[in-house]
Amino acid sequence: MLDEKDMEILRALKKNSKNSVNKLAKLTGIPPATVHHRIKKLEKDKVIQRYTIDTNDKKLGYSLHAYIFITVQPWGKGDLDQRNLADKLANHELVQNAAVLAGDVDLILKIHTKSMDELNNFILDYLRNIEGIGKTKTLMVMHSAGTT
């Protein structure tokens, strides 16, 4: 079970996973040796699964962000279910996240593209040609606050 010290370390790592143990110790007020040992335990227990980066999409040319809601239609052949379909879609280079939902919509995709043409091509040439995808609804992001 995680205690408050673990949670402080995790919060500091979420803000900047590149921080050194000494920097994390200063930020949290926890001794460096304790921070080191707790991070190792969090990694061993798979609480920390990986370290990653947060890139500036605009500087990379990805200025258009959208969410695509997908309704899956039943299909007779193949072994794709909603989870497998989400896993397949998540591997596309434009998809930031794919999630299975409960409710009227079966899947949601978070998409970052460089242009409207690229988004159109993704939807019309790729997405709509995948067996099992029935209906899509695309919502354009106008403003995003916090983490994207």
Question: Whole-number mean pLDDT of the chain?
Answer: 91
Selection from 98, 88, 102 nearest residue 68 by Cα = 98
Tell me the whole-structure pTM to 2 decimals.
0.73
E strands of 37-82, at which residues? 64-72
Same topology between domain 4-44 and domain 64-140: no
Helix residue ranges per DSSP H, the chain: 4-15, 21-28, 32-44, 82-90, 116-121
- Token pair listed for 52: 């990653």
Is a pLDDT exceeding 90 seen at residue 131?
no
Q: What is the pLDDT of residues 32-42, one digit of tens each?
A: 999 999 999 99
Q: Which fold has domain 4-44?
A: Arc Repressor Mutant, subunit A (1.10.10)
Q: Taking 90 as the threshold, does the pLDDT of residue 52 lie above it?
A: no
What fold is seen in the domain 64-140? Answer: Alpha-Beta Plaits (3.30.70)
Query: Domain boundaries in the chain?
Result: 4-44, 64-140
Band of residue 66 on the pLDDT scale cut at 50, 70, 90: very high
pLDDT of residue 73: 81
Nearest in space to 69 (alpha carbons), one of 127, 121, 130, 113: 127
